[in-house]
């Protein structure tokens, strides 16, 4: 039997632990795995693009555990009341190849993205950062806000979205979480005075959400919306004046904000900063950018955390994903032993 976390189980887990505690623990798991970066077998995700969006597979292994995630990104889905992003993931034992855990990863992707954003900001943003601007209030926004509160103590949010309903949704969801939410009338107003700016828009195009003149010295930008070829959020001039950090350079070159820059631009991978092998922010005046497209190690950390939690909090289900056989060479025998299906009787 294989452990299974569906939407119902994950929601109940978050209710028991609390979103902020879950995120705090996940940040720790993510940091630990980034610090083991050289141990991982890494590759850019495999993407299948269509006019409506993209479907991707994201694999990674540390030699003992293997994970992959199936995930889509279809910005137009909201017009038919469907999610922009859906996902599921698998954690497997490398020695046997057997799956150990299967999980929903739609909610989990929002959690792991927020955890990684906060982890990056903890070593790139100025000390004492207190105000964050959030541009784009879709499915990621609340998770981002709570992760930054948990990791950096952010309690003041200046928010903007072109959709008034999204602004109302965000304000309603954030009530009771101890954060001050200020709705801005423009992006310029939202970023004014902010120490950290998070951009999380969904449109699949080369947009300019932030221009260089909007951003003063010392600001840290958490750019999570530009995550596929031809999809960006930041003005090229802003990139050129900033110190830029990414998850996995071969993937970010194709999908991130840095697809706008020459190949030989100086870019640092986040794990190098966490390990102390390369510097992060050099001065309080630096503009820093975490150009995050999402990488498989973050899904690995999430699935590893869920697996550990399943040993102490009994919320998961079990599914018969793999046959249990007396004789592993006799797969056909399972059919012979199976009870015949019951046919429904016809009335009349």
Catalytic residues: 227
Element of type H or E holding 289: strand 288-291
Query: Cα(73)–Cα(84) distance, rounded to whole angstroms?
Result: 6
Which DSSP helix (H) or strand (E) runs through 69? strand 65-73
**How many whole angstroms separate alpha carbon 256 and alpha carbon 222?**
12
CA atoms within a 13 Å half-sphere pointing along the CA-CB vector of 219 = 23
Cβ-based neighbours of 4, under 8 Å, separated by 6 or more: 101, 102, 103, 316, 317, 318, 319
298 phi, psi to nearest 5 deg: -70, -35
Paired sense of beta strands 156-160 and 180-183, if any: parallel
User: 25-53 b/e with 16+ CB inside 10 Å = b?
Assistant: bbbebbbebbeebeebebebbebeeeeeb
């Amino acid at each position: 039997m294989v452990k299974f976390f569906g939407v119902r189980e994950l929601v109940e887990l978050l209710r028991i632990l609390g979103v902020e505690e879950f995120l705090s623990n996940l940040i720790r798991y993510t940091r630990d795995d980034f610090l083991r970066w050289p141990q991982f077998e890494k590759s850019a995700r495999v993407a299948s693009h269509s006019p409506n969006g993209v479907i991707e597979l994201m694999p990674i292994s540390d030699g003992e555990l293997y994970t992959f995630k199936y995930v889509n990104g279809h910005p137009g889905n909201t017009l038919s009341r469907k999610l922009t992003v859906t996902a599921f993931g698998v954690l497997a034992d490398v020695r046997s190849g057997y799956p150990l855990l299967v999980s929903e990863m739609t909610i989990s992707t929002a959690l792991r993205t927020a955890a990684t954003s906060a982890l990056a900001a903890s070593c790139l943003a100025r000390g004492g950062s207190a105000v964050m601007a959030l541009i784009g209030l879709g499915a990621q926004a609340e998770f981002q806000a709570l992760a930054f509160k948990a990791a950096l103590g952010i309690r003041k949010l200046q928010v903007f979205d072109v959709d008034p309903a999204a602004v109302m949704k965000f304000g309603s969801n954030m009530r009771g979480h101890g954060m001050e939410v200020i709705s801005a009338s423009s992006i310029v107003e939202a970023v004014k005075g902010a120490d950290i700016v998070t951009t999380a828009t969904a449109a699949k195009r080369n947009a300019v959400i932030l221009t260089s003149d909007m951003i003063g010295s010392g600001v840290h930008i958490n750019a999570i919306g530009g995550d596929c070829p031809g999809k960006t959020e930041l003005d090229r001039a802003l990139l050129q004046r900033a110190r830029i950090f990414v998850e996995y350079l071969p993937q970010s070159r194709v999908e991130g904000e840095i697809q706008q820059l020459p190949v030989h631009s100086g870019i640092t991978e986040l794990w190098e900063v966490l390990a102390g092998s390369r510097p992060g922010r050099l001065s309080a005046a630096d503009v820093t950018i975490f150009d995050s497209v999402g990488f498989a190690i973050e899904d690995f950390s999430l699935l590893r955390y869920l697996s550990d939690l399943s040993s102490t909090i009994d919320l998961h289900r079990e599914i018969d994903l793999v046959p249990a056989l007396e004789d592993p060479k006799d797969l056909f025998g399972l059919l012979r032993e199976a009870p015949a299906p019951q046919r429904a009787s016809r009335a009349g």
